[in-house]
Amino acid sequence: MKGLLIKWIVFIFIFFGCSDDKNPQSHQKYIAKKIFRELPLQDSLSIDTAKYNQNKEMVKAIKEADSVFLISHTSFGIGSEPIVKENQINKSVVREYIKISNKSRVRLIHILAKDNKPETDFTSFCFEPHHAIILFLEGKTSYINICFNCRNYQLEDDERKYSFDRQKWEELKTYFIGLGFKYELRKK
């Protein structure tokens, strides 16, 4: 049931998320979202994402990005400093960061590309994200804001929250810890 709901949410997001290209202001507002949807395939990272049916756009964006950074940050909530300013990481809110290698990127893609398993567990909705995946492509940025506490994530400029299954969250958390992240990653 949850899998079907996620598929509908993704369908609605893709169907209604397109910007009106005739309006230049609208186009600029949604340029970051388009990074997630309209990237040409590259062979720089050889991963077959065709076999995955969830998270394709996120995986594709990570695969196609010129560079990928992981950060921990203090920015969340109304009135807080953004994590990206003028297509650059806002270092005033960053606690830890790393530009990931192609090998680390492949590992991240494998984690995110796995199908979510249906769960009866519900996530909480504190959504106080302290981690992000920041993508750079041809001078533009886009990011995925992550809250490991409530197990929700948010795409840049999208007010909706999304989630993964428990196993994927644990793998993602282990991935961040394995790369040296400590801030707001308490061990259970």
The answer to whether residue 10 is domain-embedded is yes
For the segment 133-142, the average pLDDT, to the nearest whole number, is 95
Does this model's pTM top 0.85? My answer is no
When divided into structural domains, the chain yields a total of 1
Domain containing 19 equals: 2-178
> pLDDT, tens digit, for every residue of 8-41?
565 554 544 444 444 444 333 344 444 444 443 3
- Per the domain annotation, does 146 fall within a domain? yes
Q: Tell me: pLDDT of 110 over 90.
A: yes
* DSSP 8-class letter at 13: H
CA 85-93-125 angle, to 5 degrees, is 100
CA dist., res. 94 & res. 150, Å (int) = 20
Q: Is residue 185 part of a domain?
A: no
In a domain, 145, yes or no: yes
Task: Could you list the beta-strand ranges (E) of 48-139.
Answer: 67-73, 84-85, 88-89, 94-99, 131-137
Which pair of tokens denotes residue 178? Answer: 């394995």
